[in-house]
């Protein structure tokens, strides 16, 4: 959300809190005064010594003056004290509640800042790991005297991926979280980019990567976002796949309620996911059992769900057992314009 939108949100919240505080305080004070007046009227009596003469003089008779009453302080004072204590307590509760409401925008802003830092750190972690693997490959080739031209090309490609991720993170930080529209992107090209990022990590883990993409598929999601989604799912699969096994990413068209979808399936040969963890792993900082490889922080799958939902898609576990797990990512297909 932009800075001006944040300021307007704070001003709107301040107006609402001020109005609510004023109305609630007025109600409490009015109720206290009303109760006190009722008590005074209920406990008062006419002043017997103040009498006036009714009827013609001198044969008139004396009656009580209705304008003068006697109030017993001993009977009214306890009510004053009780009402004062109750009023102070109620006003204190109102002050506490309004203070909580007042800091709510600040709390939301701080949470958004923490989420952004965590998301950015996680999103850059995988490309940095791939970059480190590329550098190691380059060092080995230099030591052997092999050609390093393609390795340098891969390094440039990895840095370009990091630049695109940073750009999208900054744009996403300024955008609302409502579903957005995007230009069509080619699914095959986005998948290829994700495979190239994860390949050195998979090689270090002794896991084979396989991709099968139906040609001609387009999604209504930016290409860099599709690459990030596939990268996160592949990275998660590689981290839980046994050595000398494989991870497969397949892409095909699918149908959803009222619109077309493109389905991305990532299949690993890992130990599977327990029933009680099938939803928990999509929450922030939830981690499954460690595999002995680089430590995860439980952000990858949560980010995948956040991004997929933002563009009108979804992600979930399609199948899991001790033979492996299949994650299904569904993204809206791009609408092809007809001439």
Instruction: Quote the mean pLDDT of the chain.
Output: 77
Alpha-carbon distance of 207 to 264, in angstroms, equals 19
Tell me how far apart the alpha carbons of residues 184 and 169 are, in angstroms, rounded to a whole number. 19
Which residues of the chain form beta strands (DSSP E)?
45-46, 51-54, 61-64, 69-70, 185-186, 207-213, 218-219, 245-256, 259-268, 314-321, 324-332
**Range from 16-25, 107-116, 232-241 that averages highest in pLDDT:** 232-241
Cβ atoms of residues 248 and 267 within 8 Å: yes
Which pLDDT score, from 0 to 100, does residue 263 have? 94
pLDDT at 267: 96
Q: What mean pLDDT is predicted for residues 177-193? A: 75
> In this prediction, what percent of the chain has a pLDDT beyond 70?
69
Give me the CATH code for the 181-332 domain, please. Answer: 3.30.565.10
**How many CB atoms are located within 10 Å of the residue 192 CB?**
15
Q: Which of 252, 283, 270 is nearest to 320 (CA)?
A: 270
Domain residue spans of the chain: 3-112, 181-332
**In the predicted model, what is the mean pLDDT of residues 226-234?**
90
Q: Worst-scoring range by mean pLDDT, 67-81, 126-140, 164-178, 271-285? A: 164-178
pTM of the model: 0.57
In this prediction, residues 232-244 reach a mean pLDDT of 91
């Amino acid at each position: 959300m932009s800075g001006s939108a944040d300021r307007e949100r704070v001003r709107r919240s301040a107006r609402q809190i001020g109005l609510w505080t004023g109305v609630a305080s007025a109600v409490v004070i009015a109720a206290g005064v009303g109760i006190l007046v009722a008590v005074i009227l209920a406990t008062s009596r006419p002043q017997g010594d103040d009498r006036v003469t009714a009827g013609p003089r001198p044969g008139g008779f004396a009656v009580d003056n209705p304008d003068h009453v006697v109030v017993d302080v001993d009977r009214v004072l306890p009510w004053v004290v009780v009402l004062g204590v109750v009023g102070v307590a109620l006003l204190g509760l109102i002050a506490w509640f309004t203070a909580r409401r007042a800091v709510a925008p600040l709390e939301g802003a701080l949470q958004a800042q923490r989420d952004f830092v965590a998301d950015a750190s996680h999103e850059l972690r995988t490309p940095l790991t791939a970059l480190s693997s590329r550098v190691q490959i380059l060092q080995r080739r230099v030591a052997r005297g092999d050609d390093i031209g393609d390795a340098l090309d891969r390094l440039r490609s990895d840095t370009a991926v990091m630049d695109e991720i940073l750009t999208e993170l900054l744009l996403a930080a300024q955008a609302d979280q409502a579903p957005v529209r995007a230009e069509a992107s080619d699914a095959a090209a986005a998948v290829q980019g994700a495979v190239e990022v994860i390949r050195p990590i998979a090689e270090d883990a002794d896991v084979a990567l396989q991709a099968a993409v139906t040609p001609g598929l387009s999604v209504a999601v930016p290409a860099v976002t599709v690459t990030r989604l596939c990268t996160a799912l592949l990275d998660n699969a590689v981290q839980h796949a046994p050595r000398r096994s494989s991870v497969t990413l397949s892409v095909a068209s699918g149908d959803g309620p009222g619109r077309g979808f493109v389905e991305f399936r990532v299949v690993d040969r890992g130990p599977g996911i327990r029933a009680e963890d099938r939803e928990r792993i999509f929450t922030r900082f939830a981690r499954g059992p460690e595999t002995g490889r680089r430590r995860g922080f439980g952000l990858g799958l949560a980010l995948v769900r956040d991004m997929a939902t933002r563009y009108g898609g979804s992600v979930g576990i399609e199948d899991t057992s001790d033979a492996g797990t299949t994650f299904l990512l569904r993204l809206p297909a791009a609408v092809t314009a007809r001439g």
